[in-house]
A and B are shown apart, each in its own frame.
Chain A
Amino acid sequence: MAKLAAVVGIGQTHYKTRRGDVSIAGLVREAAVNALEDAGLGWDDIEAVIIGKAPDMFEGVIMPEIYLTDALGCNGKPMLRVHTAGSVGGSTALVAASHVQSGMFKRVLTVTFEKQSESNAMWALSTPQPFSVHLNAGAGGYFAPIIREYMRRSGAPYDVGIKVAVKDRLHGARNPLAHLQLPEITMKEVEDSMMLWDPIRFLEACPSSDGACAMVICSEDLVAESPKPPAWIRGVAMRSEPTMYAGREEVSPQAGRDCAADVYRQAGITDPRRDLDCAEVYVPFSWYEPMWLENLGFAPEGEGWKLTMSGATSLDEGGDIPWNCSGGVLSSNPIGASGMIRFAEAARQVRGDAGAHQVEGARLALGHAYGGGAQFFAMWVVGADKP
């Protein structure tokens, strides 16, 4: 039986196109210092550090964790690097949580980052492969045909993705850390933006950001040593599946459904829309909101878009199940950190510490990340109440 663990500190950097003022080491340290401050702790209080980022080719710095021990105060302590493509921010948080839940460590610092301004992610995701043609047009090129298939199957109106793009940017405008600040964004502006990978328009895609996110996770007996309310970890789950196999359900991957079922069972959730107060879900392209609403059981198959269009996922429209109140991946995308931001923002909500994007009275929230060809999934449920 896993021991109880909670998030007692959260630290983020501002997310922006380019952080020219800091190196990678400076960037991760900034997030870590913010998390320690939030937790009312110092470097000596940390027993181990778990770090994550997306592929090394993004920045061209191979195994950056090796030189980041100094910046993260973990010389002489255990350090572990996690990598599961775009879901890495989530799985890094889960590896950190398991270090505490196992009883092995009392207090762990976990940090994820990306410095996209130093990188060429499109190049890193488009490397030639020997037995296929060299046509990997980045993540958008991969996901656009899957979105097209969702649109065909569900018969959703063309502007569902446009609605999500506006909704998440309005959420992001409430969050001072969000990269894109677009308080005046309109449906027309999104619709008129350039079609990059049809059916994905420029404003329906995530930005490229620099940034880092950190959390301090500790065991039950040390929770009271930190001043702010904890976010109790109520369920943790990861699943993976092959990218390609005959008959693979690409629109709603089995691994995502299984991962959600596992994490809900642990948290005692039977109806996610009713039982959860909000969710931070990895939506890098706007159409992934309705797709994940179905995959994660918030709506029946083929009907996720109806939830989106009804305003149910919008804080501004007073929706009953707001998604991505922080602005989501559509507002900030330091890839390696993006999953952890989802997990951290879910925790901020149940700690009642989410500022202008707080869902009033939030007690239970989902954090979600996916990566690769939608083949890695990581999720947690955090709550204000001790289980």
Chain B
Amino acid sequence: MSEDTEAVTRIETPVYLQYNFTAGRAPARFLERIRQGVLTGQRCPRCANVYIPPRGSCPACGVPTEEEVVLPDKATVQSFTVVAIPIPNNPIKPPFVIANLVLDGANISFIHLMSECENSEVHIGQRVQAVWKPEAEWTYAMDNIRYFKPIDEPDVPVDRIGRLPIGGWEDEQ
């Protein structure tokens, strides 16, 4: 190698991955229903906790879950973060709020985007509701919900988060 040739120490080699997903019975049912704009969870026969999205079993009890529960699209903020950096391959622009949300009647959180809110005013116990995409765009995905936005309901006390009835916080009060 001549002295004025720079050594090659790195080349870019992109990796692409496309995979087919076999959802299994419970998630397949969930995806089928969310295609129609319905949020469907499953209740554990032993501890009575409601899982959404359902995976067909309760990891806490180690038993299958079969009973279907249709849930509303209102939820409570269990915790959250304000993200200042972009997510790879996601067009969403920072800063944005990702919240761990528990639907009314459910006992486990999932993550989703929060919008139509002041990022600095988001808080644990806050009440939110889904903002859906237009029906024509619905597919087999949780993305049918564009984001959750705050609603005018009193905050849920911390010890009640994840324990609200299907009728929601107002029902419980």
A-to-B contact residues, CB < 8 Å: 20-21, 57, 60, 118, 120, 122-123, 126-128, 130-138, 140-141, 144-146, 148-149, 152, 194-200, 242, 244-248
Contact = CB atoms under 8 A, between A and B. Distances in A.
Contacts of A149: 78-79, 124
Contacts of B44: 246
B82 A198 contact: yes
Interface string B4-28: 0000011001010100010100010
Given A20-B9, A246-B44, A122 B31 contact: no
Nearest to B140: A130
21 contacts: A21-B9, A123-B88, A123-B89, A131-B23, A131-B30, A132-B110, A133-B112, A133-B143, A134-B143, A135-B113, A136-B87, A141-B87, A145-B79, A145-B80, A146-B79, A149-B79, A152-B124, A199-B81, A246-B50, A247-B47, A247-B60
A277 B57 CA distance: 43
Interface of B: 9-10, 13, 15, 17, 21, 23, 27, 30-31, 44, 47, 49-51, 53, 58-60, 78-85, 87-90, 92, 98-100, 107-108, 110-113, 124, 140-143, 145, 158, 162
A20 B79 CA distance: 40
A197 B58 contact: no
B49 A137 contact: no
A179 B33 CA distance: 50
Given A130-B31, A245-B108, A246-B58, A198 B13 contact: no
Interface centre among A195, A246, A247 (most CB of B within 10 A): A246
Contact of B124 (A131, A141, A148): A148
The 4 lowest CB-CB distance pairs between A and B, nearest first, are: A246-B49, A145-B79, A144-B81, A242-B59
Contacts of B50: 246
Contacts of A148: 79-81, 124
A131 B31 contact: yes
Contacts of B23: 130-131
B81 A197 contact: yes
Contacts of B92: 135
B53 A132 contact: yes
Contact of B100 (A127, A145, A200): A145
B81 A126 contact: no
A116 to B, nearest CB: 13
A315 to B, nearest CB: 31
A245 B58 contact: yes
Contacts of A144: 81
Nearest to B79: A145
Contact of B87 (A126, A194, A245): A126
A195 B84 CA distance: 7
Given A132-B111, A146-B79, A20 B59 contact: no
A254 to B, nearest CB: 10
B84 A197 contact: yes
Given A21-B9, A137-B85, A197-B83, A246 B107 contact: yes
Contacts of B108: 244-246
Interface centre among B111, B112, B143 (most CB of A within 10 A): B111
Given A134-B87, A197-B84, 8 more contacts: A126-B87, A130-B21, A130-B23, A132-B111, A145-B80, A145-B81, A245-B59, A246-B107
Contact of B81 (A20, A134, A141): A141
A199 B123 CA distance: 13
A141 B87 CA distance: 10
B114 to A, nearest CB: 10
Contacts of B58: 245-246
Contacts of B27: 130-131
B134 to A, nearest CB: 17
Contacts of A197: 81-85
A136 B59 CA distance: 22
A118 B11 CA distance: 10
A198 B44 CA distance: 34
A133 B113 contact: yes
B88 A126 contact: yes
Contacts of B145: 133
B51 A137 contact: no
A137 B98 contact: yes
A135 B89 contact: no
A134 B59 contact: no
Contacts of B49: 246-247
B10 A20 contact: yes
Nearest to B145: A133
A247 B13 CA distance: 43
